[in-house]
């Protein structure tokens, strides 16, 4: 009996619940008679474009194997330390040795925790990508990444990042696309 798929599902559920609890902890409680300042009132209510970040990463390798990746993301600061978001990715892959080229595409949902006292970021991500086998049949791969790295603030809600991630669901198919660990360098630009 393989218990690993059940552990992955349990891990993912616990991760989602812990993320929602972390977001809920940021709410200020109101006690009857308190008069909140306008800044507190406006900061905690509703959607704000000031909390949106756009960015992503680009990667490329050229030669006998050509690999080009573009992965835009959009995130939202739920608290000053917690970002959640979505992204897409597209990879062009061409291997001249075996005369094979393909397009790989998919999407992702991610969460990040920015550490206050150090330039560190923790990262979790669920990704689905669609790949093509050598026989031209397409199939989906589900990846669950955890890891973290360094970030360099650029001012406002913008920063550069360098992360090392591990795929908890590495399979033979995902191993050929990206081996553990996965390195990412990118930028997040606050609006």
- Report H helices in 52-104: none
If pLDDT is split at 50, 70 and 90, which confidence band does 70 have?
Answer: very high
Query: Does residue 25 register a pLDDT over 70?
Result: no
Structure confidence by residue, pLDDT tens digits, 97-156: 888 888 999 999 999 999 988 899 999 999 999 988 777 889 898 999 999 999 998 888
Best CA proximity match to 84, nearest among 46, 41, 114: 114
Which phi and psi angles does 164 have, rounded to 5°? Answer: -120, 125
Give strand pairing partners of 138. 132
Residue 48 DSSP label? -
Q: Which domains does the chain have, with CATH numbers?
A: 4-190 (2.40.160.20)
Q: What percentage of residues in the chain have a pLDDT greater than 90?
A: 32
Instruction: State residue 170's pLDDT score.
Output: 79
């Amino acid at each position: 009996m393989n218990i690993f798929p059940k552990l992955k599902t349990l891990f993912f559920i616990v991760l989602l619940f812990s993320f929602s609890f972390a977001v809920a902890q940021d709410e200020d409680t109101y006690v009857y008679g308190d008069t909140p300042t306008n800044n507190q009132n406006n900061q905690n209510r509703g959607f704000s474009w000031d909390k949106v970040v756009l960015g992503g990463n680009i990667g490329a390798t050229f030669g006998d194997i050509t690999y080009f990746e573009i992965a835009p993301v959009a995130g939202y600061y739920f608290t000053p330390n917690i970002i959640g978001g979505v992204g897409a990715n597209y990879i062009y892959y061409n291997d001249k040795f075996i005369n094979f080229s393909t397009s790989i595409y998919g999407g992702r949902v991610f969460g990040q925790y920015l550490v206050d006292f150090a330039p560190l970021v923790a990262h979790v991500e669920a990704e689905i990508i669609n790949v093509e086998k050598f026989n031209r049949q397409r199939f989906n791969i589900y990846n669950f990444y955890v890891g973290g790295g360094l970030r360099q603030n650029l001012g406002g809600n913008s920063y550069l990042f360098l992360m090392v991630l591990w795929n908890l669901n590495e399979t033979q198919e995902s191993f050929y696309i990206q081996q553990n660990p996965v390195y990412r360098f990118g930028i997040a630009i606050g609006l």
